[in-house]
Amino acid sequence: MTIDDAQKTVDHWINTIGVKYFSELTNTAILMEEVGELARVMSRTYGDQSFKESDKNIEMADEMADILWVLICLANQTGVNLTEAFEKNIQKKNIRDADRHLNNPKLL
């Protein structure tokens, strides 16, 4: 599935099953909640915290997909073509960071 396909799929789902988009502000809050849920899994998987019994069935991939879903909702609501935005972002990074990381002694 391409990013464009994903945007169309989410839009179709929202307009047929989800009834309508939540407001942009609500979706921004939901995005932050989803990022927090991923942070919880990451801190327990790779950090020093341990899983509570209620957290043991939470899947990292599913949390990442939840984040992607809400981000796509926000893009659709605000008229952002994520494919174009991502391509422009890669170009920006290629120019801005062309030598930056190669010369970083922390990464060598």
Q: Which domain holds residue 78?
A: 3-82
State the number of CA atoms in the 13 A half-sphere of 29 facing the CB: 4
Q: How many helices (H) and strands (E) does the chain have?
A: 4, 0
Instruction: State pLDDT tens for residues 4-32.
Output: 999 999 999 999 999 999 999 999 999 99
Per-residue confidence (pLDDT) for residue 24, from 0 to 100 = 98
> How many domains in the chain?
1
Q: Indicate whether 90 belongs to any domain.
A: no
Tokens (6 digits) for 27:
């979706």
Instruction: State pLDDT tens for residues 44-89.
Output: 999 999 998 888 888 999 999 999 999 999 999 999 999 999 999 9
- Asked if 72 and 6 touch (Cβ cutoff 8 Å), the reply is yes
Q: What is the spatial distance between Cα 102 and Cα 79, in angstroms, rounded to a whole number?
A: 36
Per-residue confidence (pLDDT) for residue 12, from 0 to 100 = 98
Q: Indicate whether 39 belongs to any domain.
A: yes
Instruction: State pLDDT tens for residues 35-52.
Output: 999 999 999 999 999 998
Q: Indicate whether 31 belongs to any domain.
A: yes
Q: Indicate whether 94 belongs to any domain.
A: no
Supply the pTM of this predicted model: 0.89
Tokens (6 digits) for 43:
């801190």
CATH classification at residue 47:
1.10.287.1080
